[in-house]
Amino acid sequence: MNWITKFIKPKIKSLFKKKSSDTKEALWKTCECKNLIYKDDLFKNLSVCPTCGFHHKLSSDDRFKIFFDNKIYELIKTPVPKDDPLKWSDTKKYADRLKIAREKTNQSDAILIAEGKLNNILVTVGAQNFDFIGGSVGAASGEAFIHGAQNAIDKKTPYIFFSCSGGQRLMESAVALAQMSRTVLAVNELKKNNLPYVVVMTNPTAGGVTGSFASLGDILIAEPKATVAFAGRRVIENTVKEQLPEDFQMSEFVKEHGGLDMVIERKYLRSTISTLLTILLKKKEVKPISQTDNVTNIQEALPKTSKAV
């Protein structure tokens, strides 16, 4: 026992301990390849691992920052329905889970909608944040998606959606399932209005999200090595009684089997989608984005941190 353990109260010691591990967690991230990456370096590379190329998850805001021209966009206010319609409780109260998710993400629910320009074309963009209860879809996320489609129709813009979700939100049960048909109807309205709807499936896109609005894009894109699935791998293996290939439900596998149009690296998403929109909207006057100009650094968009940190 040294003088610190002898004289400093356990509560104070635990405060010091917590602070140091929090700081470590705030500055470093462990990648799938087991490499520890300095978070600043990861942001500079659009949250793609410089060693193995793994595409890490992005918050809705970070997604907007790397996608819109000059990181300029306006968040569209979406309706927020009454919380917790079923008064759900499991190991924790749903109301408490919502509170924690809101504090963690600074979002009212899992989907944010924004409007801005991509290569000078006005677009409406939606993005799911996995940090908000696994990006799951309940009434509020359903409303946000539909509101995004309505914004696209009102302003006559294409609708681009970045999906990242485990599926429908268990704690809203049938209310969450109802969002599948509601969002599909919203996509139908976009199509009636001849507006391009482009989906980018990011890791993971699963369950009711794959089973509804995420699979209905005019063009279906996915990021490399993203899980794109409806039912889980184990459920399928137990049903078909067969061992499935290792890359089953990975975006490259899904594309090879006709479930996706393309698999595109994050740094080429802006140039690829802008070229697609130019063709779909028949905008001959828009010059394509050069791929060398394509990388937009998240770090530049973030508030500057002290060099001493």
Query: Which residues of this chain interact with Zn ion, rule CB under 5 A?
Result: 31, 33, 49, 51-52, 54
- Name the minimum Å distance from CB 226 to Zn ion: 15
From residue 187, how far is each of 148, 175, 213, 247 by CA, in Å? 10, 19, 7, 30
Residue whose token pair is 């005019």: 218
Of 31 and 178, which CB lies nearer to Zn ion in the complex structure?
31
- Give CA–CA dist 139/171, Å, rounded: 11
Decide the pairing of beta strands 36-38 and 28-30: antiparallel
- Name the minimum Å distance from CB 54 to Zn ion: 5
Residue 79, judged by CB atoms within 10 A of its CB (0-12, 13-18, 19+), counts as exposed
- Name the minimum Å distance from CB 243 to Zn ion: 27
Cα-only R_g, the chain: 21
Q: Which of 77, 54, 75, 79 is CA-nearest to residue 64? A: 75
Q: What token pair was written down for 142?
A: 């359903």
- Give CA–CA dist 215/198, Å, rounded: 10
Of 31 and 231, which CB lies nearer to Zn ion in the complex structure?
31
**Residues in a beta bridge with 220:** 199
- Name the minimum Å distance from CB 52 to Zn ion: 3
Of 33 and 80, which CB lies nearer to Zn ion in the complex structure?
33
Of 56 and 65, which CB lies nearer to Zn ion in the complex structure?
56
Of 37 and 228, which CB lies nearer to Zn ion in the complex structure?
37
- Give CA–CA dist 219/279, Å, rounded: 12
- Name the minimum Å distance from CB 55 to Zn ion: 10
Of 169 and 266, which CB lies nearer to Zn ion in the complex structure?
266
- Name the minimum Å distance from CB 43 to Zn ion: 15
- Name the minimum Å distance from CB 265 to Zn ion: 14
List, edge to edge, every strand of the sheet that includes 121-128: 73-75, 111-118, 121-128, 159-165, 197-205, 219-222, 262-263
Of 51 and 89, which CB lies nearer to Zn ion in the complex structure?
51
**Residues in a beta bridge with 121:** 118
